[in-house]
Structure 1
């Protein structure tokens, strides 16, 4: 099974799937064309639950306190709960459509991209049937942009935390007092730290051995779990009176909240392969509802408590608000280590879509060189993106608004309409699907606009959202 349980087959291993390159069978983590897991080898309920939780807990979780600040102390938790419920509902829609299409086509399994293509092939509209393959291309493109966006966010997150750890080392003590506001001039630009991380990530993504990557995955899980425990241990201590915090923020910052919130729910693409790999796939609905309930509760608790704890001083990542002592500096180090190794796992999604397609265009003697070159180029692309836009909070909101909202809220309802429209759908279901898609589209358009507007403002704009001003 996949290291992350993600749907690496949502985009085909080759974009047109006409031929398989020699490298497609080497180091593959993709899940296409696999049959349902045999009972002896399939995932148990607990294993599936762990995969589900692991795929939804990343850097987006640490940005939720700032998201709550952008929405308001009352509006934020309610809106996050609503977005979570809608996202889970769209996951269920995707599962139902994939199951229906696999039965109709007598296939054992269809991926996200295949489901979109197959539904268009059988829809009443002749033009859509003719161009059905673009449904798969669209999903593949969105997966590529979303995952590379995640990787860019990882660059910023690691650089932010590394900069703070290095430049505050001389002030770090054993006395864990709350972080004080102090305007500092960074010793080295944040971009220097990004470039320092770059060669190590390039070497990391060269590793294609599944067994070795699974070791890194386990290390990432351990460090992430340990750092999350310390974060919660700190924020529940002496929470200030929240009466001074606004219950509702302005609509402009709420749009940034939407992008950040939808960014954190990144598990839509992995529900199909996880279900396919269970010993008893019919039990996946229980796992999905249980796992996503835990995720939503964790999101609301961390976001709300974090905002109540730090108030107007809340930064783009809650780790940047932690006290300047060795204990909580270790939290930044542990979480950064976890994110470093998770980068290689998230990177496999665009790599498994792009690399086989590129390799299929060259001779076999160039396979290894092209493989490594494309990997290097993709890592450099995420680094350049992070260097050009060194605002962690806004990039999270932008990626969430553009790609995550499409995969999580816009496409699944449309997929249900196309799949079941010819089978006497009720007017209520049609109206519900249209409303969810319109909501996702509005969030995508206005959230993207607001994120881009904030990005072109001078760097000191909304200084409390930046990450270099507290000591």
Structure 2
């Protein structure tokens, strides 16, 4: 039994001889930037311990084996329940509220069936990423690898000399899509907050205490939603000035509480008085299906949190069960909210189901509560691109100017997300575009290709190779078609009618 490797000194670059034919190259100092390690007392308690008799290519079977993966500092790790909660939080956001419109774009039968398939494939790709990361942890005797490093080492293990030579680009590509995805989420948050606050303000004079009245309230026009976005920007900038992840813990708790309360109230409303579903098409026009794909993969794109969550568990042997349980809950949540929301509002469904809620103070408060939760979540989503981009600029100035440069970059990035939201103020199309462009790459395209480059030289079944190629092609086709359709819808004049708050799609 190999002895556990000691945790490397923080912020120090180590050089090791890469075993089993991997290129000998400098290993970056863990998954956090040097700036983050200076600012935080961050401890990585994970470690690997492998038996000489074990075969790394056994995948998740080895992952579940008690002798294949050990941890240091178990007392400080997260429990199974805590990990499950974090996994749920990492996958539930504004994408969930856009799923009723996504089901409309697919059809009342085809939509839920497609969500089941999407959930199975996305979960399988998460499992592939975990399997490949553990494979290289064992080979390199490293305690932990993030998404980008796993892809880099996967390319180094490839039989192609060209891929091995350009393996560093694997990490750069993953970092690029992570930045695009997270900043895309932040742009969606601006549009979401603006739309919901604007609707609450416009309908304030017609808002009542009667939540069972089906009358539609004519809103009083106020300022444009883009002006609301500019109003939120200074507060968002102040929020992203929080640089310590530990300081965001309370913010995360507040976001969870407000969003959970809002979801409970949304569910208790949409299950009441569901109209006859026979009036809805089983399958929608094929031209709108790419918009469904973009919204669905946007909702399922939680692959970036998988490895960090597994790394922080007290006993990572239980992570596969937590992953499959959590993704099952998430898939059922997506299917029920998407289907019930579309059944309740029909053709009147909007980009976020909150925009369809009745004009009474109870449901107006739901919009405000969820918007507050999204506001706090902005800082958490912003943290990832800040950790990737800021060190590039901070490392080029003296320590005296480091804080000024760091805050300046944060202001620019927050302003950029606001500018993108102003340029594309349609919530449904922003979600679909971000999902098609970046989420499909991280969640569907890269993991199957990583599986092939990691295990091909060790012998892979032709069935597994075919399966990986088909999944990657599925993601690529969705990427191309979904992006095209979202851009096409953006440049077309908006001729669809605007539906105010209605409590049912079939109000007479």
TM-score (norm 1): 0.92
Q: Report the counterpart of residue 480 of structure 2 in structure 1.
A: 445
Structure 2: distance between partners of 1:327 and 1:429:
51
1:25 aligns with 2:37: yes
Q: Report the counterpart of residue 434 of structure 2 in structure 1.
A: 399
Report the secondary structure of 1:40's partner residue: helix
Q: Report the counterpart of residue 173 of structure 1 in structure 2.
A: 208
1:106 aligns with 2:141: yes
Cα contact 1:121–1:130 (8 A) shared by 2: yes
Q: 1:174 to 1:18 in 2, by over 3 A?
A: closer
Structure 2 residue corresponding to 1:55, chosen from 90, 93, 114: 90
1:462 aligns with 2:474: no
Q: Report the counterpart of residue 6 of structure 1 in structure 2.
A: none
Cα contact 1:31–1:273 (8 A) shared by 2: no
* Segment drifting more, 356-365 vs 207-216: 207-216
Structure 2: distance between partners of 1:271 and 1:456:
36
Structure 2: distance between partners of 1:80 and 1:28:
39
Q: 1:210 to 1:470 in 2, by over 3 A?
A: same
- CA deviations on 1:88-129 (whole Å, 9 max, x unpaired) are 000111111111111111212111100000111121111111
- The unaligned stretches of length 5 or more in structure 2 are 1-12, 14-26, 48-70, 503-508
1:373 aligns with 2:408: yes
Shift of 1:275: 1.1
Structure number with bigger Rg: 2
Structure 2: distance between partners of 1:256 and 1:49:
29
Report the secondary structure of 1:396's partner residue: helix
- The unaligned stretches of length 5 or more in structure 1 are 1-11
Structure 2: distance between partners of 1:400 and 1:22:
30
Q: Report the counterpart of residue 52 of structure 2 in structure 1.
A: none
Cα contact 2:202–2:220 (8 A) shared by 1: no
Q: Report the counterpart of residue 355 of structure 1 in structure 2.
A: 390
Q: Report the counterpart of residue 265 of structure 2 in structure 1.
A: 230
- CA deviations on 1:36-62 (whole Å, 9 max, x unpaired) are 552111111101100000111100000
Cα contact 1:268–1:407 (8 A) shared by 2: yes
Shift of 1:469: 4.4
Q: 1:225 to 1:29 in 2, by over 3 A?
A: farther
1:287 aligns with 2:335: no
Q: 1:44 to 1:179 in 2, by over 3 A?
A: same
Shift of 1:29: 9.6
Structure 1: distance between partners of 2:289 and 2:342:
15
Structure 1: distance between partners of 2:123 and 2:213:
37
Structure 1: distance between partners of 2:215 and 2:491:
29
Report the secondary structure of 1:425's partner residue: coil
Structure 1: distance between partners of 2:384 and 2:215:
40
Map 1:90-169; keep pairs closer than 5 Å: 90-169=125-204
Structure 1: distance between partners of 2:343 and 2:37:
50
Report the secondary structure of 1:94's partner residue: helix
Structure 1: distance between partners of 2:327 and 2:213:
33
Q: 1:300 to 1:18 in 2, by over 3 A?
A: closer
- CA deviations on 1:409-454 (whole Å, 9 max, x unpaired) are 0000000000000111000000000000000000000000000000
Map 1:303-452; keep pairs closer than 5 Å: 303-452=338-487
RMSD value over aligned CA atoms?
A: 2.2
Shift of 1:357: 1.2
* Segment drifting more, 313-322 vs 23-32: 23-32
Structure 2: distance between partners of 1:461 and 1:205:
37
Report the secondary structure of 2:76's partner residue: coil
- CA deviations on 1:381-420 (whole Å, 9 max, x unpaired) are 0000000010000010000001000000000000000000
Q: 1:29 to 1:223 in 2, by over 3 A?
A: farther
Structure 1: distance between partners of 2:363 and 2:168:
50
Structure 1: distance between partners of 2:390 and 2:182:
15
Shift of 1:30: 8.3
